[in-house]
Structure 1
Amino acid sequence: MKKTESMTISNALYFEEVQRLLEEGKEVCIRVKGNSMLPFIKSGDRILLVAYQGEPLPKGANILAKHEGNFVFHRYVGKKGDKYLLAGDGNLVLHEYIAEKDILAFATRHYPTSGDETMAIDKPLYRFRGMIWYYMRIIRRIITVLKRRF
């Protein structure tokens, strides 16, 4: 078996390259780090990104964006004025408000590390599932509080 080497680079350098490839019109597959998109996308899973070209975003789309100088991969859940509202699936409270210029890409496919089949997450059913999960935040918060108390 051929041994592969890996190296660690800064997030800034990594996403600079991701942006460059997207601007060239290429699809980019990245590995997700963190648990903000649980339960649907786990740390270590991969997602396929396509550059955002200003097309209307459907609610529930998974997008890569810049927020306060950092890169986030979260779900688009609505709009307030000219700001786009993002939320991580695993987050019970917080939102990010971003300008349209901060949207870099949207995800079209999800490659779970668990070996499950790849999923087309840009399809209406998957976006709908994500939005239902988002709208259940209040119920999820209540369950979390009850679990802590009992």
Structure 2
Amino acid sequence: MNVSDDEILAEAIRLVAEGIPVTFPVNGRSMLPFIVGGRESVVLEKAIAPQVGDIVLAFVEGNRYVIHRILKIDGESVILMGDGNLYGVEHCKVTDIKAQATYAVNSKGKRRSLVSRQSRRRASLWCRLRPARKWLLLCYRILEKVKAL
């Protein structure tokens, strides 16, 4: 029996809505340096009261799901952006937020909080460094390649 990614995602969202945390693998580089796609997973929990700075799973324009950080909430409208993205934002409604990512989990099972005070301070600083993000991400990628040697 083959289960599609959409079916797995739908089941994860259903479990989270029932209050059951789900560990979900992530792909891509859009959340670098805070979440490393392909190497880390995130723990998704029910998003009770989404706030600016939260990392959430949301259904965005273009009929797709993303795990990105909330940049702005204006009434029911939400603007999201991946930490590893240089440009572009996604838009959704508060009701389109299906879960909050609370931990990043590495391949050895070690959890790192995405909601601690320290993590939020780092994320806030990272957001203020957006003009330099291109160069910081380049340095990060070079360092990752050197570490892999």
State TM-score, norm by structure 1: 0.79
Please list every run of at least 4 consecutive aligned residues from structure 1 whose deviation after the TM superposition is greater than 4 angstroms: none
The answer as to whether partners of 1:77 and 1:131 remain within 8 angstroms in 2 is no
Q: Percent identity?
A: 32
Please say if 1:49 is aligned against 2:44: yes
Instruction: Figure out how many residues of one structure are paired with residues of the other and give that number.
Output: 135
In structure 2, what residue type is equivalent to 1:47? V
In structure 1, stretches of 5+ residues that fail to align are: 1-6
Residue 97 (structure 2) aligns with? 103
Higher helix share: 2
In structure 2, what residue type is equivalent to 1:60? G
In structure 2, what residue type is equivalent to 1:70? R
Aligned in 2, Cα 1:21/1:132: closer, same or farther, shift over 3 Å? Answer: same
Aligned in 2, Cα 1:58/1:81: closer, same or farther, shift over 3 Å? Answer: closer
CA distance in 1: counterparts of 2:51 and 2:94, whole angstroms = 14
RMSD (Å), alpha carbons: 2.2
Query: Residue 72 of structure 1 aligns to a residue in which SS?
Result: strand
CA distance in 1: counterparts of 2:10 and 2:42, whole angstroms = 17
The answer as to whether partners of 1:66 and 1:98 remain within 8 angstroms in 2 is yes
How far did residue 51 of structure 1 move?
1.2
How far did residue 131 of structure 1 move?
2.3
The answer as to whether partners of 1:86 and 1:96 remain within 8 angstroms in 2 is yes
How far did residue 109 of structure 1 move?
1.3
CA distance in 2: counterparts of 1:92 and 1:117, whole angstroms = 29
In structure 2, what residue type is equivalent to 1:23? A
CA distance in 1: counterparts of 2:36 and 2:60, whole angstroms = 21
Residue 133 (structure 1) aligns with? 126
CA distance in 2: counterparts of 1:91 and 1:75, whole angstroms = 11
Q: Deviations over 1:100-124 (max 9, x none)?
A: 11000101111123x5842121112
The answer as to whether partners of 2:52 and 2:73 remain within 8 angstroms in 1 is no
Q: Rg: which structure is higher?
A: 1
Please say if 1:67 is aligned against 2:60: yes
CA distance in 2: counterparts of 1:59 and 1:128, whole angstroms = 12
In structure 2, what residue type is equivalent to 1:34? G
Please say if 1:38 is aligned against 2:32: yes
The answer as to whether partners of 2:51 and 2:73 remain within 8 angstroms in 1 is no
State TM-score, norm by structure 2: 0.80
CA distance in 1: counterparts of 2:93 and 2:43, whole angstroms = 22
Equivalent residue for 1:94, pick from 84, 88, 96: 88
Query: Residue 42 of structure 2 aligns to a residue in which SS?
Result: strand
In structure 1, what residue type is equivalent to 2:60? H
